[in-house]
Amino acid sequence: MVTHFELPAHVTAEQLIASVSEQSSLHLVSKHPVLKTYYDSFDWRLYRHDIICEFSQSTQASILQLSHRKTSELIASTTLIEVPSFSTQFSADKMRQILEPVLEMRALRAICHVECLVYQFDIVNNDEKTVLRIQIEEFERFNHRLSLFPIKGYDKVAGRIVEVIAEQLKLCAIDRPLLLDILKSQSRHPKDYSSKLDIPLSPDMRADIASKLIFSNLLHMLKVNESGTIANIDTEFLHDFRVAVRRTRVGLSQVKNTLPDDIVVRFKEFFSWLGQITSETRDLDVYLLNFEYYKKQVPVDLRASLDLLHELLAAKQRQAQKQLAKHLRSARYSTLLAAWEAYLGSTPNNKPTQVDAKLTIKALADLRIWKVYKRVIKEGEAIDQHTPPEALHRLRKTCKKLRYLMEFFQHLYAERRITSLIKQLKRLQDVLGDYQDYATQQQKLMHFSQEMQVSNAPDKTIMAMALLIEDFDKRKNKIRDHFTWQFSAFKKPENHTVFHALFATHHS
């Protein structure tokens, strides 16, 4: 049975009611104005999981409902005064169970809202028993909507009623959430943000023009995450802000000889500064995000003693965040960012001075990716059980460069082949990243531990931290074995053949 309909533009709620009451008796249960607000994370995680999150407020009640994007089926519902920012703040079990794995660390934010007049009706039989519940929502700027809520054991009666009114009033079944209508009316789209790169390059674009396009994309990503970073809405704004910074830095150093030297020097310095001023906050964010996991690594009776460490980290994070926000509000930041934006927007020089500026972007991309790929292989092959950690660290950075280059230029290559290579590179990067994480976390933790000993923290806390440090060490060493395995998987001949075929074009 269809349960959600759209009324034709000219049909009002009153008309619908009149038409229904011709054949069935109905009771008006309520009629009241409702404010509906839609929520999602900045990167649309709920929408991507086909969940619509709607908060309806009226003088009677405020209810948060999760429903399926395509079927409108209700998934969970709870009464709330206010929508919490994070999934962990929900007290209703079911709601939390659904939201936690989807949202993770991301905050819920209001996306858009709409006012409507909601009529609720019961259709009753001769015994005055309700056999079907009806809801009509009247909007000012959208077609009205009719929703039916069948009652168990009365589907047949309900089906008959629905058939008649749908036919009589030419109602259309609807499977499109209202959210989409609202967004459309505001010229917005769902999923309008993703941290994935998608730069529409074409192979014979001039290299300097293409690189400006890449940097403009990265600048956009940086700017949309700026206010969320300053306000510390959730940790992902800073994370994505930093990704944009790092990608820009790799672009400036790796997409060589296309932009004028003075520009490259000036903005390399600016983006390196941005990397610095954001790193401490991010490090602390990572600790706090991982804290529950840390706790689980020590014996149960020591867990509570780690709360002191949590306090210390949280205090440091607040401090670092404050500094970071100050930097992002500074004149230095805004002036240089505006200058960068102005440069990227300026018309390209017809006679570029740089040697590679007039290459096609495809030729340049081939050259750069092939070169960095060979470096990855060379550096990786030099690593064995006895190589110092610095070598792994260096390889991690080279891999990152390769990854960013491949992502910048993704559109220039056969999609299936390049995404498969990226996926395999990612696996290698994950191992290297974990190694690095454990190494720095171990080091930092030792540092914090010294700091806390000076301030006379209890022995138990220091002991728990020592256990954690030891645990990191063990994990770090285990990862070296993983690395050997992952690296040989990455450099297997099949991959090499594809790398060669895609990028070594200038050699053949």
Q: Which residues bind another protein (CB under 8 A)?
A: 122, 127-130, 151-154
Beta strand extents in 311-432 (DSSP E only)? none
Cβ distance to another protein smaller for residue 1 or 338: 1
Cβ 136 to another protein, closest distance in Å? 20
Q: Are 6 and 143 in contact (CB under 8 A)?
A: yes
Beta-sheet strand order (sheet of 62-68): 74-79, 62-68, 51-57, 25-40, 109-124, 130-138, 145-150, 4-6, 172-173
Nearest alpha-carbon partner for 385 in 469, 474, 478? 478
Cβ 122 to another protein, closest distance in Å? 7
Cβ 159 to another protein, closest distance in Å? 15
Cβ distance to another protein smaller for residue 19 or 56: 56
CA distance 397 to 8: 59
Q: How far is CA 501 from the centre of its chain?
A: 33
Q: Give buried/exposed letters for 328-363 (b at 16+ CB in 10 A, else e).
A: beeeebeebbeebeeebeeeeeeebebebbebbbbe
Cβ 76 to another protein, closest distance in Å? 13
Cβ distance to another protein smaller for residue 78 or 323: 78
Cβ distance to another protein smaller for residue 120 or 484: 120
Tokens 């989807």, located at residue: 102
Cβ distance to another protein smaller for residue 155 or 434: 155
Cβ distance to another protein smaller for residue 154 or 193: 154
Cβ 163 to another protein, closest distance in Å? 20
Diameter of the chain by CA atoms?
89
CA distances from 330 to 219, 295, 300, 455 (A): 18, 38, 46, 34
Cβ 193 to another protein, closest distance in Å? 37
Cβ 127 to another protein, closest distance in Å? 4
Cβ distance to another protein smaller for residue 125 or 195: 125
Q: What is the dihedral of CA 23, 29, 34, 39, to 10 degrees?
A: -90
Q: How far is CA 364 from the centre of its chain?
A: 31
